[in-house]
A and B are shown apart, each in its own frame.
Chain A
C-alpha cells in the first residue's frame, strides 16, 4: 500500500478501516540466500538495499526481540556529516545525501529535519580545530560555516555566553545536519524490505552458527536451524556475543550510553547544539521535549540502563550551557548498549569464515550511518567486495596500522 495525501483523505472519510499492517509476520523458511542477523536500523536497511539495489533473492532478517527495540529506537536521532578523516567523511557524506532522499525512496514519513548542528567552541585551540574540521568537511562535499560569538548569539541568545571559565567564542555550523525520527527509520526500512519480499522474523534469537570446513552454512536460532548461503551480522551492542558464537574475538567493547528527554516545552531550540567544554548536546523534538545526552558510563556494560553519576554529570554540563534547563522537568532517561570500537570507527567487512560477514563497531554514532551502512553492507554481501566508499572499515586494520582514530585516543574504547 502506497502512502499519499489522497490515501489519507480517503481513509479519513471511511473511518480509517483500510490501513493494513506495514509488514508481514512470516514463519521462518528452512533456507535463504541471505540471512541478516539483527533487526535494527542497519540490519533492516541492509535487507532493503539487498532486495532493491542488488537483486538479492531470498532474504530474511532475524531479530531476537522486536524490530526497533535496540539502539535504533534509543538514540538521540542526530544525523550529520562532520567528520575529519578521509576514511570516514566521504562515507558519512554519502549517508547524509541518502537521508536527504530517504522519505521519497521509502514512501515513508521519517521526519527528516535538516535543522542544523552547531558545535560550540570555547578556546582558540578549539576554534583552530573547528576550522580544520570545517575545511575537511567542505573538501569532501559537505557544508560548514564558522560563526563568531555574535553569530551564535543571534541563533541562540539564551546560552551562557560569558561563563568565566568557558565563554562561548563561536561555533562550527553544519546546516545540512539535523534529526530524523528514529523508529520511523526502522519501520520505513522494514516496510520497504517487506514489500520487496524480505521475511522479517521477530522473536527469533540466533544462538549459534553452523560452520563446516571453514564455511558458514546457516544459523541455529530459537526457532530452529535456518540455512543460508551468506550471513550478515549487524547486532550493534551484542556484536562480541554473537561473533563469539563463531569463535571470533572482536576489537570491540560494549558500553552503555544514556539519553534524556524533558517534558514538552514551547519551541525554543530550533537546531542541535553541542557543548565544547563538557559532554552535553541537545535538541528539541517536534513534540517539544528537550532531547539530550552526554558521555558513556565509562565501564563495560550490557545493562540497558546507566548509573546516576553520569546523569548528574550530563545535567551539570547542560546547566552550565543552558541555565534555563533548570526550569524544565525530566520526563524520561534510558540507556542503550553500544559497540565501542578500538579507534572509534566502524567495521564493514568479511570474516575469515566463508559466507560470514560483519557490520558493527558503530559506537555512539551509528544512527546517522544507517542508510550508507545498509547500502555498503548489502554491496559487500552481494559482490564480496567492499563498496568504494567503505574500504577503510576493515577488521584487520589494527594489524596493518590503518586505524581511523578521529580523536587520536588510541585503543581505549571508552574515550572515543
Chain B
C-alpha cells in the first residue's frame, strides 16, 4: 500500500506503524460524570467496519508525524490522508474547557 503523506508525498506503508481507529484521538474528558464508562468504551470498543475506516498511522521511519488515513478495509483503497494534528485541532472542545 502507498500512503500519500500530506507533507512528503507518496510513501510505502512499510515506513509506518499502525495504531488503529482514529476515534482514539477523541480521548474522553476525565471529569465527565460517566468517565469510567466513557474511558472503557474509548479504550476497548471498536466500530470495526467493513468498508470506509479512519485510522491512525505513525510515520516511524519518516518524519514521525501521525496521520489519519481513510482507507477501505475491504479493498485497501486509500481515499484521504490528513495530518492527525489538523484533525485533532478541528474537534470541538469538551464543554467544560470552552
User: How far is B76's CA from A298's CA once the two chains are assembled, in angstroms?
Assistant: 13
A253 touches B48 (CB 8 A): yes
Closest to A410 in B: B43
A301 touches B76 (CB 8 A): yes
Q: Which residues of B contact A299 (CB under 8 A)?
A: 18, 55, 71
Q: Which residues of A contact B55 (CB under 8 A)?
A: 299-300
User: How far is B49's CA from A184's CA once the two chains are assembled, in angstroms?
Assistant: 31
- B75 interface hit (Cβ, 8 Å): yes
A309 touches B44 (CB 8 A): no
B73 touches A250 (CB 8 A): no
- B14 interface hit (Cβ, 8 Å): yes
Closest to A403 in B: B44
Closest to B48 in A: A240
Closest to B36 in A: A399
> Can you list, as one digit per residue, whether each of A373-407 has a CB less than 8 Å from chain B (1) or not (0)?
00000000000000000000000001100000000
Closest to B1 in A: A307
A249 touches B41 (CB 8 A): yes
- B7 interface hit (Cβ, 8 Å): no
Q: Which residues of B contact A254 (CB under 8 A)?
A: 48, 50, 73
Q: Which residues of B contact A252 (CB under 8 A)?
A: 46, 48
- B5 interface hit (Cβ, 8 Å): no
Most A CB contacts (10 A, CB to CB) among B13, B20, B75 go to: B20
- Take A300-B20, A301-B76 as given contacts and tell me if A398 and B44 are in contact as well, using a CB distance cutoff of 8 Å: yes
Secondary structure dominating the interface of A: mixed
Q: How many residues of A contact B (CB 8 A)?
A: 25
B44 touches A303 (CB 8 A): no
A250 touches B14 (CB 8 A): no
Q: How many residues of B contact A (CB 8 A)?
A: 27
Most A CB contacts (10 A, CB to CB) among B17, B46, B47 go to: B46
- A208 interface hit (Cβ, 8 Å): no
Q: Which residues of A contact B17 (CB under 8 A)?
A: 298
Q: Which residues of A contact B45 (CB under 8 A)?
A: 249-251
Q: Which residues of A contact B37 (CB under 8 A)?
A: 399
Q: Which residues 1-31 of B have a CB within 8 angstroms of A?
A: 1, 13-14, 17-21
Q: Which residues of A contact B13 (CB under 8 A)?
A: 307, 309
Within the complex, what minimum Cβ distance (angstroms) separates B49 from chain A?
8
User: How far is B76's CA from A301's CA once the two chains are assembled, in angstroms?
Assistant: 8
User: How far is B21's CA from A342's CA once the two chains are assembled, in angstroms?
Assistant: 13
- B74 interface hit (Cβ, 8 Å): yes
Q: Which residues of B contact A241 (CB under 8 A)?
A: 48-50
Contact with A250, one of B43, B48, B71 (Cβ below 8 angstroms): B48
User: How far is B41's CA from A250's CA once the two chains are assembled, in angstroms?
Assistant: 9
